[in-house]
Each structure stands twice: as C-alpha cells, then as structure tokens.
Amino acid sequence: MPSEKAVMSASCRFWMQSLLVSSLCHLITAYSQRDRAHDLMSRYPLIDGHNDLALQLRILHNNRLSQIDLHNVSKVATDISRLQAGHVQTQMFSVYVMCGAQQKDAVRLTLEQIDVVRRMCTEYPDFEVVTSAQELRDSEMRHKIGCLISIEGGHSIDSSLPALRMFYQLGVRSMALTHTCNTPWAESSSNLYSVFQRQNDSLTEFGKAVVEEMNRLGMIVDLSHTSWDTALAVLKHSRAPVIFSHSSSHAICNHSRNVPDWLLHKLKSNKGLIMVNLHSKFISCRDEANISRVADHFDHIKQVIGAGSIGIGGDFEGATSFPQGLEDVSKYPALIQELLERNWTESELADVLRRNFLRVFEEVERVRDQLGFIRPSEVQIPSEEVQNACRLVLGRPDPKELPSEQSASSRADHRSAGLLILLLPSLFWI
C-alpha cells in the first residue's frame, strides 16, 4: 500500500494540475472572447450616439484647434487614436452650450460649436462629416470616422424654426429637445433651473411644431434630457422614430435621466432607439460602477423591448465618472466582450453596434421624403410664451423716443432692416 505521504503528494499534484488546467482554460476562454469582441467590432464598428469632445475643446483650448493634435489629446477620454482602438466608426458629436445662454447668446455659441466640429472633421483626414445614412455607410467603406452633428438642447434654436432650418443646412442631423432647463415649449427631466415652469403642458403647440419640422427636415428627435411627459407627448406626435441618444434603464438605476419600462414600451412602438449611457451615476446611481453593472442595463432593456431597440451613447467628455474598465472610448470592446460572455448573439450585438441606428436614420429620412411636398413651417411662438427681453420687437421706432441726432440715421437703418426681413423668406427653401 502507498504510504500516507505518497498519497498526500499525489493528491497535491492532482490539485495543482487541476488548478493549472482550470487557469489555462479560463485564460484561453477570456482571450477567445476578447478576440471575438474585436473581430465582431471590426466587422460592425460602433456608431456612438453621444460625445461632448467639442465642449472640452472650448473649455480646455477655447476652440483653438491649432494648439492640439487630435490624434492624441490629454485631459480627455476621446481622440482619434482611441476612437480607432475602440472601433468607433461614427461618432455623434454633441454641440452643447450651457443653459445659462438661453434668452442670451445661445444661437451664437451653438454656431461656434458647430464650427469647431466641422473644422476638426474636415481638417483631419481620419474624420469625415456625414449628413445621411448613405454617407455614413460610405464613410465606413472609406475607413473614415464619420462625424454626425447633434445639438444638445432646444434652447440653442431660441424658439425659432428658421434657426432650426439653418442648423440643418450646416449639417446638424439630430437635436435633443431640452438639456437641464425647460425651453418655452418643452420640459426637462432636470429641476436645476426654474425657468418656463408650466402645469400639464409638457409639449406646447410650438413644441409640436418643432417636432413636425424636424420630421419634415429629416432631423432625428432626441429625447435624452426631456421629462417623461415630454417624451411621451413626442412619441405620440412624431411621425418618425426617435432616439434617447444617451440614457439608461430606470429600473436598474432610478435616476430621472433614465428611461422607465413603460416608456420603453412606447419607444418600441415608435420603432425608436435607446442608446445606453455609460456615466457611472446613471449606471449605478453612485460615482463608482463596473462593466457588469453596465451590462445589467443592456440585459434589462433587452428583456423589456428586445435587442433591436438598443444602441450605445457613451457620453464621454460630458460626464465626470465612468465605470472601471470603460474609462475612455478605446475600451468599448470590453463592454462587447462582457455581453458576449452573457450569451448575447453576434447578430444582436451587430444591431446594437450600428444596424439599429442605421435603421432609425433611414426611417427618419424615409419620413422626410414622404413629407417633401410640405412647405417649411411658418409657425411662430407667441411672444408671451418666450418672455425674452433680449428679443427686438421689429417695427418703426418712435422718433420722439430717439435723440434728435440719431433719428434720421435710425430711420434709414430700420428701412434697410425691414427690406432685409421682407427678402429673407424668398431666399431659402429648406
């Protein structure tokens, strides 16, 4: 009979061998899933619904692109090198100005942010501005990073449909109806600002006109940051699918920026899209989170409305904290690996990565084409709803109220301004 010492030695060797085999299997499996995630993303590169790099370019560099190399930018989570490493093929770049600019210079600031996005996406050959679903597909074929421009907050149009149309002419293809402040015509999910408070009127008649004009133009309506009542009203009114460009599941984290299940069902009926936000506070309702918790949001939304209604809207550069392992745009493959390990199929993930967004974008364009016979809307918001002292009331000035030396020149100026106002409607058909 073998000695007790020999038996213990054999047992120890067996235990060590089992541990080694188990460790090797784990490493091989993990490597395989990582490899699988990268391979999948190389075939179906990501369309990311929300990134605030333009905001950081203003904050850190005052929009002076000549001071930086966008291939490698410090103090941010986004640059060309990391977008490529993360298999991000199209990035929706947010054009955002603070709510404090509402009723002041929001339009000018928005124009400046559009300018910096267009500059970076034309001055760097790795980027390419895209304004249609077909251009998006073409940019993938050319191995470019497509730049879609989105306005984050309806205060940027200063309650003006002509301003909305001009932004479309500049390449804007999506707009969030609110940010952290109400507009005169739509309600925010945030109570940070106490402006334009209304009772039982979360989307006014002018707000409906904004949605209708966005449908007519072929501009994607974005409901991230709107109140649930506003989102519901839009879902009932819009003729085209809508998106939540960077929102997560309220059932997993009960933050007001997230979407409850009952509203997800309405989104499903609209054939729209929720693009999951990665900000830690929207993922775990705390400043810390991990990839597993992010995947919980994907799992829950998939269970409620299916993988065909899900996308990804990271919110990099616009939020302060991100889950461990998802700290910048290069880390997206780690999220896809986690979902593969949770038995998501490659077809489901191909939908999440890009096919769902392309479907929505194409349907928005189809609705636009159906509405091509409709003239540009001339709906104007009632002045009492705007309550903006900075707005000039156009009309002939009273000479009695002007200093005598300015009266003649002012009358001439107003005649010229009136002539310009008369001419403008005939110049554009948008």
Length, in residues, of the chain: 430
Q: How far apart are CA 244 and CA 266, in angstroms?
A: 12
Mean pLDDT of 249-266: 98
Query: Please, which residues have CB within 8 angstroms of residue 397's CB and are 6 or more apart in sequence?
Result: 410, 411, 414
Cα Rg of the chain (Å, integer):
26
Q: Which of the 8 DSSP states describes residue 376?
A: P
Q: How far apart are CA 132 and CA 129, in angstroms?
A: 10
Residue 162 has pLDDT above 90, yes or no: yes
Q: How far apart are CA 346 and CA 36, in angstroms?
A: 9
Q: How far apart are CA 275 and CA 322, in angstroms?
A: 16
Mean of all residue pLDDT scores within the chain: 89
Catalytic sites, residue numbers: 50, 52, 152, 179, 225, 246, 315
> Distance of alpha carbon 19 from its chain centroid, rounded?
46
Helix axes 133-141, 356-370, angle to 10 degrees: 140
Closest CA to 179 of 219, 152, 150: 152
What pLDDT sits at residue 409?
45
- What residue spans define the domains of the chain? 30-370
What percent of the chain shows pLDDT beyond 70?
A: 85
Closest CA to 253 of 297, 207, 192, 210: 297
- The token duo for 193 is 């600002």
Query: Please, which residues have CB within 8 angstroms of residue 340's CB and are 6 or more apart in sequence?
Result: 33, 36, 37, 40, 346, 349
Question: Tens digits of per-residue pLDDT, 7-31?
Answer: 445 554 545 555 454 544 544 455 6
What pLDDT sits at residue 155?
98
Question: Tens digits of per-residue pLDDT, 179-228?
Answer: 999 999 999 999 999 899 988 889 999 999 999 999 999 999 999 999 99
Does CATH place domain 30-370 in 3.40.50.720? no
DSSP SS3 for 144: coil
